[in-house]
């Protein structure tokens, strides 16, 4: 499953995770920490939509 930032379009792919941000590949979106912010525009998880 993929999730896209509604503000800038950055994409979180559960298969790839976000290793640069400490999120391992295979991490489900619901398991991403609540304080996660988009690495490009710094908005929170509430600004992402399922792709």
Q: What is the pLDDT of residues 12-45, one digit of tens each?
A: 999 999 999 999 999 999 999 999 999 999 999 9
Distance between alpha carbon 45 and the CA centroid of its chain, in Å?
A: 7
Q: State the average pLDDT for the chain.
A: 98
Distance CA(15)–CA(17), nearest Å, equals 6
Q: Would you say the pTM of this structure is higher than 0.75?
A: yes
Do 26 and 11 form a contact (C-beta atoms < 8 A)? Answer: no
Query: Scanning the structure block, which residue is given the tokens 């896209």?
Result: 4
pLDDT at 23: 98
Q: Catalogue the E-assigned strands of the chain.
A: 2-5, 11-13, 48-50
């Amino acid at each position: 499953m993929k999730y896209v930032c509604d503000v800038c379009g950055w994409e979180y792919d559960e298969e790839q995770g976000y290793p640069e941000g400490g999120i391992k590949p295979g991490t489900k979106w619901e398991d991403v920490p609540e304080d996660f912010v988009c690495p490009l525009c710094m908005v929170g998880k509430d600004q992402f939509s399922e792709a």
